[in-house]
Each structure stands twice: as C-alpha cells, then as structure tokens.
Amino acid sequence: MAPEHRIRADVVVFGGGIAGLWALAQAVAAGHDAILLENQSLGYGQSRQAQGIIHGGGKYALRGVGDVAAMRAIRDMPARWRSHLSGEAEPDLSAATTLSSVCHLWLPRGSWRARLESWGMVPVLTSANVLASRPRKLARSEWPSPLDTSAVAVMQMDEPVLDTRSVLSALATPLLNRVFAYQGPGEDDTQSDAAVQFMRRDDIWNEVHVRPAADERPVAIEAGAFVLAAGRGNAALLSRADVDPSIMQTRPLRMVMLRGNLPKMYGHCVFGGKTRITITSATMSDGSTCWQLGGEIAEAGVDDESMKQTLRRTKSELARCLPGFSLSGLRIASYRAVRAEAKDPQNRRPSGVHLERVGANAWVVWPTKWALAPLLAEEIVAQLPAPAVPAVGADRAMAQFGFPVPELAPFPWEEARWIDVD
C-alpha cells in the first residue's frame, strides 16, 4: 500500500531503550531534527531487564586480565553518569532514582584460593589505570547484613545502582514530542503484515514506511540518517532493509527473582574467575523486596525446563554464594531474557560499544552494557551528517498523522508469575 503522507527528518532512531533514547537526546542537543520510533513500549526488552549497575570495571578486576578491554571501556562511566544524575551534564537525569550509591563485591566462605588470586590482582589492575577507583575492603562491621555469615571478605566499589525505569523516564520526558509508537516487526519478526519498509537506492537509505496503527495507511519518512538501536529487534529491522542480520549475536539468559522479607542487596559474588551471582533489589507494590539474580546463575539456567529445575539450581547456587541463606517463606519467579550484541568472531561476549555502518547513512548499534549508553550516543552523533537548517518539524508532522506516544514498559517482576518456594 502506497504511503498517504510524507515527512522529512534529519535522523530517525529505532528503539526506545536506553541506547535509542540517549542517542535521540544527544542528536537533538546537537541540533538535529530527530525522531524515535518504538513498536512496543519504552524500555521493552533488554532495558527493563537490566540490573542498573553503572560498572566502573570493579567486577572485572576479579575475573582475570582477559577482561582488561572491557574495563578500559567502562572505567569512566560512574563519574560520567554522576554528572548526569546531578543535573550538571545533559541529558539531565536528576529526576532518576539512585537505589544505591555503591556496589559490593564479596567472596563466599570456602573460596580461599579465589580470594588470594583475586585480591592480588586488584592492585595490579588499579596501577594499570583500568579501574575507575580502587575497591575498598570493608571492615566486618560495614558488611551488608546478608553477608555477615556468608562471606570471607567484602569490598565496596563506588558504582551507583539505578532504578532503570526512572532513568528511561528522565531521558524520555523532555523528548516525548519526538518519541512515537508505530506498527512494525517485533523482536521475533511478528506483525509482518504491518511491517516497516526501508526504501534504498544503492547504498543510500532514502526513507522508511511505517504505520501509526495496523489498519491505517503507511507514512513515508525521509531522513538524512537512520540509527537502528532496537537491541534484539535490530535483526528484524536489518532484514527489512535487506541487510544480513548475522552481524549480530544473541545470548539467552534465565533471570531468577526472589520476593519476600529480604534486605536490600546490591552486589556481585565473585570467585573461580566468574561473577557467580549478581543481586540487585527492588521494592514491590506490597512493600516486599524483590531480588533479581543475574550473572552466571542466569547463563546456567538457559535450558531449565521447569520452575522445579530453576528452584533446585537457585538453591544450589545460593548455598555456594550465600552459605546459610534460607529461601523459606520466599516466593520465586523467572523469565527468559535475550541479550543482543555485535557478532564476535569467537562468539564471545564483546567489549565496549559497537556501531556498524550498514549503509552510507545508516548504522546499527549495540551498547553491550547499560552503563555504556552515553559513550555509544556520543559515537553515533559523531557519525551523523550536519543538521538541516532550518529544522523541518518532523515531530509536529508525526503527531499530526496520528502516531501515539508509547508508554513505559513495566518491570519484569511486575508481570511475573510467582510461586511459593515452600
């Protein structure tokens, strides 16, 4: 079906997660008439699943020098994020919620060998200038309560932990006149009858056809640049533009959540060269605390076939990381998550941000880590052509043709099916 209307924009960003919203904010700040398109809800997918830790390389320090590249890429992120959280830098994130100003690292009882190896590595990596700050070893009186009887040593990193939904809200709110929902292919390429269509001439991406609703005619959006920042959804968008989606890879996870009378906890259990478990906390609507469990426990659970199997594995891992911790009286839930990343030749986890040109004026991007979104946005804007002068008012035209503003996605634990551990 031919487009009924035509719109002109400087930049079209696909994907309303942390990467797309930060890229939009930076592009607008640089003078571009930019708009963002999201076919689900803001933060749907990886952004709402992120644990919100602004890494500065701390956990990598205890995992071996093979992660030096990752540490160097992420080293300056805590300080950079703090400048946005304080409102000193744009985009202003002062409305976002900081759950904890620090993150803890602990080694559980029974891991003396790992403790000696890891602790000896920290001074070396600090002197090599690959950490944002030196981990501070805590006196026992300073340990978080869940670690009182579980750890042999606890360190503190000056890495803030953020409420991810509040960050997305703080980014999106000043730009809601430029953020629009459209009907298009989902992460698994569904909604194909209303799919987005890219129009190209040789290596130039000229326009994209999208619909504000499934039963409406498409609108043609001409643009000087296109940025695909839709995470897992990038695969469907690349296919629509006749670009091989195998330039990205996906990493499935099984995230586990515990709910009940739990203390707040933000940190990593690290030993044996791995981040065995990462715990972050959220407050549920009934006042109870939810622990979200990531790290190796999430990777090991990908093939779980039942909640019984997930529970058995969770109990085993918590017995190793938090000896003496009891799940009695708690509730448990899990969900399948998929991390989308740039393709690595050895299928390993990539380090740093990734921006790949897929046309003379088109890029597909992945931040790799939530904390690296500011760095990725900076690199995106550096690639864009000069802004059109004067601005052409794409935001007003999109609203005029009926494109709605997407809602913020709920957290996974707000939609989970919880069962009693007992």
Contacts of 303 (CB under 8 A, 6+ apart): none
Average pLDDT over residues 373-398: 89
**Which tokens hold the place of 48?**
């709402």
Single-letter amino acid code for the residue at 189:
D
DSSP conformation letters of 401-420:
TTPPPPPBPPPHHHH---EE
Band of pLDDT at residue 14, cut at 50, 70 and 90: very high
The whole-angstrom separation of Cα 407 and Cα 395 is 17
Cis bond before residue 387 (omega within 30° of 0): no
Average pLDDT over residues 11-23: 98
Question: Has residue 193 got a pLDDT over 50?
Answer: no
Band of pLDDT at residue 133, cut at 50, 70 and 90: low
Q: What is the pTM of this model?
A: 0.92
The whole-angstrom separation of Cα 335 and Cα 46 is 12
Closest CA to 365 of 237, 272, 175: 237
DSSP conformation letters of 190-231:
--GGG--EEEEETTEEEEEEEBSSTTS--EEEEEEEEEE--G
Which of residues 193 and 176 earns the better pLDDT score? 176
What proportions of the chain, in percent to the nearest 5, are helix, strand and coil?
Answer: 30, 30, 40
The rounded Cα 38 to chain-centroid distance in angstroms is 16
Q: Supply the pLDDT for residue 2.
A: 79
Point out the least confidently predicted range of 65-79, 111-125, 331-345, 352-366.
111-125
**Which tokens hold the place of 144?**
């978080």
Q: Supply the pLDDT for residue 131.
A: 61
According to DSSP, residue 232 is labeled: G
Within the chain, how many helices (H) and strands (E) appear? 12, 19
pLDDT in tens, 288-324: 999 999 999 999 888 888 999 999 999 999 999 998 8
Point out the least confidently predicted range of 26-40, 73-87, 244-258.
73-87
- The answer to whether 35 and 16 have CB atoms below 8 angstroms apart is no
According to DSSP, residue 305 is labeled: -
| Cα separation values, 166 from 47, 52, 85, 268, 277, Å | 11, 10, 11, 23, 24
Percent of the chain with pLDDT over 90: 66
Question: Has residue 158 got a pLDDT over 60?
Answer: yes
Question: Has residue 366 got a pLDDT over 60?
Answer: yes
Q: Supply the pLDDT for residue 215.
A: 73
Band of pLDDT at residue 65, cut at 50, 70 and 90: very low
Output the average pLDDT for the chain: 88
Cis bond before residue 91 (omega within 30° of 0): yes
pLDDT in tens, 219-243: 999 999 999 999 999 999 999 999 9
Question: Has residue 272 got a pLDDT over 80?
Answer: no
| Angle between the N-to-C axes of helices 77-85 and 373-383, in degrees from 0 to 180, rounded to the nearest 10 | 90
Q: Supply the pLDDT for residue 408.
A: 97
Q: Where in the chain is the domain with CATH 3.50.50.60?
A: 5-48+167-249+345-413
Q: Supply the pLDDT for residue 19.
A: 98
Q: Which residue has the tokens 């459209």?
A: 182
Q: Supply the pLDDT for residue 122.
A: 59
Percent of the chain with pLDDT over 70: 86
Which of residues 275 and 241 earns the better pLDDT score? 241
Question: Has residue 189 got a pLDDT over 50?
Answer: no
Q: Is the dihedral of CA 89, 90, 93, 94 positive or negative?
A: positive
The whole-angstrom separation of Cα 80 and Cα 233 is 28
**Which tokens hold the place of 365?**
């991007």
Instruction: Find residue 339's DSSP bridge partners.
Output: 251
**CATH class (in words) of the domain with range 5-48+167-249+345-413:** alpha beta
- The answer to whether 135 and 122 have CB atoms below 8 angstroms apart is yes
Which of residues 51 and 349 earns the better pLDDT score? 51
Q: Supply the pLDDT for residue 47.
A: 96
Q: How far apart are the first and last CA of the chain?
A: 56
